[in-house]
Chain A
């Protein structure tokens, strides 16, 4: 039997029991959070959703803090961080990343240039208090892009008593000489709650355990084992307020995140050893580099009637990204621009989001949610080079979710959603290229097809997502969940209309204007066993896509200078499957052991190979000793080799890494200092991350790192 049908058949088996949709737990979190202790928020989240939900709370986030949010979340099985040197990292869930993951903060989807391999997540890691990871399709909740999962960043509940409070956090890291700090000041007074946070991080070129890297068969020296020009800095400011009075609740948040990070010069264009001589300063940011500024304003209005609650979220975001690289061109007629001569690319993406939901509760067996989402985006471009066209994108969706409490221990739910999307992409004609091709003696037919770097696209999409699931709490120890559904994703502007050499990937990438919306059938199951000193979780999943979009090498030579063959966005039949396993137990009074393992398999059924960027199987074994205010852990991280690769991707050997850490709380003048010392890659092992942007340049991951995080919380009760 053809392998592709197995997961599909499995799905049908599990559709038979009536079933359950993923369901937003935001309402329940609001109504419950004052009585629920932090540690069981995960349990509540899992009872409320038929999909597996993992929660990273404040303790988890401090313990695994690195200054980058996605790196901390990597400790959750099924979640991976795609690295771009030490400056950027982006989330991946169960082998899906880029535009297949939605990151939301305060209910609004974060919109940056997610499609790009060298673009990170612009969120202040210091300010994140709680994250829920929804593994598997969440497009029923968030629309198009959440086909692979969602990362929901939410606020921790405000303190109960009126108080003035705050926190000073300091971070130091040896691997790239990071110095970071954050100051938060807050006030809780009766119905008001407000907090302001300012964070900065400076980091230098990072250490790798290698003195040469090999790129395009050229050996490049890495002087002082530091990757030149990977330094950067980050400055974030945010303000959050909420107001709650009886049945009315509102919140308002403004944040601005700015990052400036250098790119390893050898990774841009043809490698040249002369670019890589040590300039004696490991903290300077030279060309090429990128800057991103992400401004976000969000607000929620909520009102609760007797059996109905209604809320709406609104948001505005402006993601402004610039890539700077010394002016260079292959076309004799192109002169450097008068202003900002070295600005290669600029993208300015403005997003307006609106979402409204009405939910019933306390009505016996049934709970219903009706919702409407709307989003409008406008992308404008500048710079002497071209990669992605200007576009406007409008999406809107209507959803209906219902939960039926069959029994106090069993609930089934289902949901359906229809989304409409319109994408309007502007044409872009490159006169310099046209002239160049004419000079090179290409025929008119070829020139005519190349001079349009982007074709005008005006397309409408409409698609249905649906989901069915069941949550069965067998008793206090066992919890079983099943979920099956259909999800979809609209093609992005780059998949439809990009056309040019991406200086980061060094390939001629070409969109296909005829791509249809990507859709797939997904199934997942969840089982946990939890008692006082023992915990076990198993979460298998499988999915099938009729038209999974990926960048396929075509074998056609590109006429663009410095380009090999053309890579075109192409649809393929795809299968994804895998599982996460987690278990933990306490022993000998103060010891505990935790195991987490993950595996993802994917297969391109059209080509009989794997898709690019498949996360390798990995596991973490952690031994913890906890006594009063001190907490020591040692972790053995094992990464399997990844031999299942796509074309023009390198197989990556496995690695074993030792990490350890100590967290302690010290009482000092009535203030409880939290100090976390940790060491990553203690043996300075040279290893590669298959998901790293720098992998194909044979640049190993960061070497030994020692890190200190000090948090000084303070509060003063108000009378």
Chain B
């Protein structure tokens, strides 16, 4: 009988160890993603090809601890979703591809405003995707996808 009680005791000890170790608040690692607020370009916005002043880019980023970097990826979306070369555009124009990242390490908030994205004059007009990625210092990542249109015809009037 005594042995039995001893074993119950052992069981209880194990159980309490497991439960106590389980309940300890040890998850102090950062799992909160940065927050993206992309103001311009807006969803469905038409951007002018060959505009030397560049795309008006207006972005607000914030994180609970520290931001690290953001990246802009623009690529064609001519046939809906699939990026097929079968529907490759005419030879005179080139599909516009933009891929660049910016370092914003050390800040909790960032208000970004620039005209660094320049759509070269020989770019193929059509539907494009713009994907914005943002990471914080811990490696938490947010992203956002926008549909944009590249066009030679419609001029943009932005107030800067």
| Chains A and B belong together in one complex | yes
> Known contacts A3-B24, A270-B129, A561-B99; is A609 also within 8 Å of B139 by CB?
no
Which chain B residues (33-77) contact chain A, with CB distance < 8 Å?
Answer: 33, 36, 68-69, 71, 73, 75, 77
Can you list 30 A-B pairs, Cβ within 8 angstroms, ordered by A?
Answer: A3-B24, A6-B21, A216-B143, A218-B145, A270-B129, A274-B80, A275-B80, A326-B84, A329-B83, A332-B88, A540-B15, A540-B18, A542-B18, A542-B21, A555-B137, A557-B101, A561-B73, A562-B73, A562-B75, A562-B131, A564-B71, A578-B22, A579-B19, A599-B22, A645-B31, A646-B31, A647-B30, A647-B139, A648-B33, A648-B141
Which chain B residues (97-142) contact chain A, with CB distance < 8 Å?
Answer: 97, 99, 101, 129, 131, 133, 135, 137-141
> Known contacts A328-B82, A577-B21; is A603 also within 8 Å of B31 by CB?
no
Which chain A residues (582-633) contact chain B, with CB distance < 8 Å?
Answer: 599, 601, 603-604, 607-610
Max chain A C-beta neighbours (<10 A), residue from B11, B22, B95, B145: B22
Inter-subunit contact A270/B77 (CB<8 Å): yes
* The one of A525, A540, A542, A608 that contacts B26, using a Cβ cutoff of 8 Å: A608
Q: Does B4 contact A (CB under 8 A)?
A: yes
> Known contacts A553-B140, A577-B21, A601-B22; is A335 also within 8 Å of B7 by CB?
no
| Complex CA distance for A561 and B74, rounded to whole angstroms | 9
Inter-subunit contact B143/A561 (CB<8 Å): no
Inter-subunit contact B81/A609 (CB<8 Å): no
**Given the complex, which residues of B lie within 8 Å of A335, measured CB to CB?**
85
* The one of A216, A265, A271, A538 that contacts B15, using a Cβ cutoff of 8 Å: A538
Q: Does A474 contact B (CB under 8 A)?
A: yes
| Complex CA distance for A578 and B15, rounded to whole angstroms | 9
* The one of A525, A565, A599 that contacts B135, using a Cβ cutoff of 8 Å: A565
**Given the complex, which residues of A lie within 8 Å of B101, measured CB to CB?**
557
Taking chain B's interface residues, is the majority helix, strand, or loop, or is none over half, making it mixed? mixed
Q: Which residue of A lies closest to B68 (CB)?
A: A555
**Given the complex, which residues of B lie within 8 Å of A68, measured CB to CB?**
none
B10-29 interface bits toward A, Cβ cutoff 8 Å, 1 = contact, 0 = none: 01001101110110101111
Inter-subunit contact B31/A327 (CB<8 Å): no
Tell me the A residues contacting B by CB distance below 8 Å.
Answer: 3, 6-7, 10, 216-218, 265, 269-272, 274-275, 325-332, 334-336, 440, 472, 474, 478, 480, 525, 527, 538, 540-542, 552-555, 557, 559, 561-562, 564-565, 575, 577-579, 599, 601, 603-604, 607-610, 644-649
Q: Which residue of A lies closest to B140 (CB)?
A: A647
Q: How close is B10's CB to chain A, nearest CB, in angstroms?
A: 8
Inter-subunit contact A564/B27 (CB<8 Å): no
**Given the complex, which residues of B lie within 8 Å of A565, measured CB to CB?**
133, 135, 139, 141
* The one of A326, A525, A555, A609 that contacts B27, using a Cβ cutoff of 8 Å: A609
Inter-subunit contact A608/B15 (CB<8 Å): no
- Those 7 A-B pairs whose CB atoms lie nearest each other, nearest first: A609-B29, A553-B139, A601-B22, A608-B29, A328-B82, A564-B133, A272-B81
Q: Does B86 contact A (CB under 8 A)?
A: yes
Q: Does B155 contact A (CB under 8 A)?
A: no
Inter-subunit contact A538/B11 (CB<8 Å): yes
Q: Which residue of B lies closest to A575 (CB)?
A: B21
> Known contacts A329-B83, A609-B29; is A10 also within 8 Å of B71 by CB?
no
> Known contacts A335-B85, A565-B139; is A478 also within 8 Å of B17 by CB?
no
Q: How close is B123's CB to chain A, nearest CB, in angstroms?
A: 14
Inter-subunit contact B29/A7 (CB<8 Å): no
Q: How close is A528's CB to chain B, nearest CB, in angstroms?
A: 11
Known: A275-B81, A559-B99; 18 extra A-B contacts, CB below 8 A, are A217-B36, A272-B81, A474-B4, A480-B11, A525-B14, A541-B18, A542-B17, A555-B137, A557-B133, A562-B131, A564-B141, A565-B135, A565-B141, A575-B21, A578-B18, A579-B18, A644-B27, A648-B140
